[in-house]
Copies of this chain bind each other. A is one copy, B any other.
Amino acid sequence: MDQTKIFSEFLGRKGLKTTSQRKIILRAFLSSQSHCSTEDLYLKLRKSHPKIGYATVHRTLKLLVECGIAIEQHFGDGHARFEPFQFDRHHDHLVCKDCGLIIEFEAPQIEELQKMVAATHEFMIKNHRHELYGLCSRCATK
């Protein structure tokens, strides 16, 4: 089942409506590069659909997160960023403090250790944040 249908059914279950803007924003989000901010997506959309407002982009991204299609990230620059959720490819991020480069990494061993930590403290984990901040190889050598 494609994402458009998943989103429509999600909206239907909540008594919300599948509007043309929401479909357009979903398409643009999925075809945009990952880790885009609300503003990134708004500016990108403005070229093809100048009537779509910032507030609608913002609200739709929130809905996509609630629906499970998108994940919201914060990397400390004051802009929320969004990426498509990939069920079978959980990852965390390396963030370059100089140029802003974002690299995804997968570390199943860390995930396992997290579970042990949670068990030790009798915590039921819902989600986590794990970001490594530093300099990418390019920025470290210049």
Contact = CB atoms under 8 A, between A and B. Distances in A.
Interface stretch (A15-23, A51-59, A132-140): A132-140
Count the copies: 2
Contacts of A117: 94, 105, 107, 132
Given A117-B94, A117-B105, A132 B136 contact: no
Contacts of A133: 125-129
Contact of A126 (B97, B113, B121): B97
A128 B123 contact: no
A121 B103 contact: yes
19 contacts: A74-B76, A96-B123, A103-B123, A105-B121, A107-B117, A110-B110, A113-B113, A117-B132, A118-B132, A122-B136, A122-B137, A123-B132, A123-B136, A123-B140, A124-B134, A126-B134, A127-B134, A129-B130, A130-B130
Interface of A: 74, 76, 94, 96-97, 103, 105, 107, 109-110, 113-114, 117-118, 120-137, 140
